Amino acid sequence: MKTQVFPILALAALTACSGNVNNNNESAAPADSTQTETVSGDNTANVLKEAVSVWTQNESILGMSEEGKVRLPDQYAMFDLDGDGSDEILLREWLKDSNITGYLALFANGKDGLQLVGLTYQTAQIGGMTLYKNGFVKLDSGNESGTYGQNDYLKIENSSVVRSFIATYGEDEDGNNLDNFYKKEAGQERQTISSDEFSSAIAGCDNDNAYPLDGFDWKPVE
């Protein structure tokens, strides 16, 4: 489970630990995610425009910009991750020369508005975002040596993050294990749980049940 992450920002939705926008060793509530009112009318075009606006104002995107030029998403995809009838939105920076995803953002899109669930940098292979068929989204963070970090498993229901299960890992100077596990309901303080409770809660979050990024119907952002 120990994955490493490229140190980048703090997500508007959940606090990030040096690499994924919404991870932190003191994890913030998923319910505090950035939200904007869903626009009526041409919903797809308007909500997509709103998602791009949130993307361009994100601290990690701004921090990685060169000479004031903000990185923009090249592609988007829409799909119903939690099965509630409303499509979630994926934005990504498609690095064509390398055929890989750079930045990746996921937005829940429900009646309460647009919610930024996570924004990560995928290319360093030391962290990132994974989407599962059971409605969970995993955000990884850590450091390049792999000596400490955090994995957040965010459960999406009705186009909102309703709870998260958090694993922090590390070692002390003597190499003793410092792993801890938590459960956090939206709007509440996180509670310590056992490793068995954590494993049971995230059952099904494995490679066999993960969506491959290339499997989505990506379209150009215009």
pLDDT of residue 191: 97
3-class DSSP state of 35 = strand
Residue 99 CB neighbour total at 10 angstroms:
8
Query: For position 14, what pLDDT does the model report?
Result: 33
Q: Return the closest-CA partner of residue 52 out of 9, 98, 103, 1.
A: 103
Q: What is the pLDDT of residue 123?
A: 73
Listed by start position, the domains of the chain span 30-210
So what's the pLDDT on residue 131?
97
Please report where in the chains the tokens 């410092």 appear, as a residue: 178
pTM: 0.76
Decide the pairing of beta strands 75-79 and 219-220: antiparallel
User: Do 21 and 137 contact (CB within 8 A), yes or no?
Assistant: no
CA distance 103 to 206: 22
pLDDT at residue 60 in the model: 84
Residue 71's CB is within 10 A of a number of other CB atoms, namely 17
CB 27 within 8 A of CB 152: yes
pLDDT < 50 regions, the chain? 1-41
The sign of the torsion formed by the CA atoms of 184, 188, 192, 193 equals: negative
pLDDT of residue 75: 96
3-state helix/strand/coil string of 39-104: CCCCHHHHHHHHHHHHHHCCHHHHHCCECCECCCCCEEEEECCCCCCCCEEEEEEEECCCCEEEEE
Q: Tell me what pLDDT residue 9 has.
A: 31
Q: What is the pLDDT of residue 145?
A: 56
CA dist 134 and 200 (Å) reads 13
